[in-house]
Structure 1
Amino acid sequence: MAFAGRWETETQEGYDEFCKLIGIPDDIIEKGRDYKIITEITQSGDNFSWTQIYPTDARVTNTFTIGKECDIQTIGGKKFKGTVNMEGGKLVVTFPNYKQVSEISGGKLIETSTAASVVLKRTSKKI
């Protein structure tokens, strides 16, 4: 249940390069660069609801069960089928253009997205 709670973005590393690589338009990259995204996570056993709330009040919610295929929406609004797995206490999912690993480390939510050799690392604090 370590993931459950509300989290607010503290830092992002590699944001611009990652977003450009996965095809997010420049105007959207510019708007989102300094967003303090709120991530709300509920967890019941292997079942999760993961909502990201943007300052514009836009929301992206993904619900999933560890190890079972589900519908997932990306930050760019694209939808696909994917499976979220738990590997060593980390949530791992492969999106069409990148892989994301989410973990709790030092009381922080760390989301690391990797596309080719480009890495976006978002760190959030619990609120």
Structure 2
Amino acid sequence: MDFSGQYELQSQENVELFMEALGVPDDMIEKIKDLKRVTKIVQNGEDFIVAIQTGDQVLVNSFTLGQETHLQTPAGEKVKAVMNLEGENKLIVKARDFTSIAEFNGDQLTNTITFGNVIYKQVSKKIEDSDTEEDHL
């Protein structure tokens, strides 16, 4: 399955608790919790680039399936993690203190992140990609 595409956030659960658990300051949480968020995924075989745009901010992480990498969290911390494919439609990343499961089902992306005892869920819908091939993340 090719996971490439742009996904616009439709709904989320426990965003404030999750951001607090990550150490994001309260004033920043208030600014970003209701902003439009688009995730762009570019897949080339087992190599991925994931860019999450929230308002004017863009968080970019790249990884290769099965290889250890450093991912940047929304709080700006870098953590070691390994991303794996489960079945044909689930990307699972396990890091020191969190697990993220991104499940693709048709044009819907459901991402469930467990951090400590906080479970953060976001549902995004695939949108038309208006970029040309020359555009970059």
* TM-score (normalised: structure 1): 0.90
Q: How many equivalent pairs are there?
A: 126
CA distance in 1, matches of 2:26, 2:34: 14
- Return the offset for 1:53: 1.1
Q: Give runs of aligned pairs for residues 66-77 of structure 1, distance below 5 A.
A: 66-77=65-76
CA distance in 2, matches of 1:94, 1:28: 26
How big is each residue's C-alpha offset from its partner over 1:58-102, in whole Å with a ceiling of 9 and x where there is no partner? Answer: 211111110011121111111122211112231111234321111
Query: What is the root-mean-square deviation in Å for CA atoms of aligned residues?
Result: 1.4
* Change in CA separation of 1:123 and 1:96 when aligned onto 2, cut-off 3 Å: same
**C-alpha contact 2:82 2:95 (8 A) present in aligned 1:** no
Give unpaired runs (5+ residues) of structure 1.
Answer: none
Give unpaired runs (5+ residues) of structure 2.
Answer: 128-137
Q: Give runs of aligned pairs for residues 17-32 of structure 1, distance below 5 A.
A: 17-32=17-32
**C-alpha contact 1:11 1:123 (8 A) present in aligned 2:** yes
* Matched position secondary structure for 1:16: helix
CA distance in 2, matches of 1:117, 1:105: 26
Larger radius of gyration: 2
How big is each residue's C-alpha offset from its partner over 1:88-125, in whole Å with a ceiling of 9 and x where there is no partner? Answer: 23111123432111111242111111123321111111
The match for 1:110 is 110
* Change in CA separation of 1:46 and 1:77 when aligned onto 2, cut-off 3 Å: same
Identity among equivalent positions (%) equals 38
* Change in CA separation of 1:96 and 1:26 when aligned onto 2, cut-off 3 Å: farther
* TM-score (normalised: structure 2): 0.84
CA distance in 2, matches of 1:35, 1:95: 26
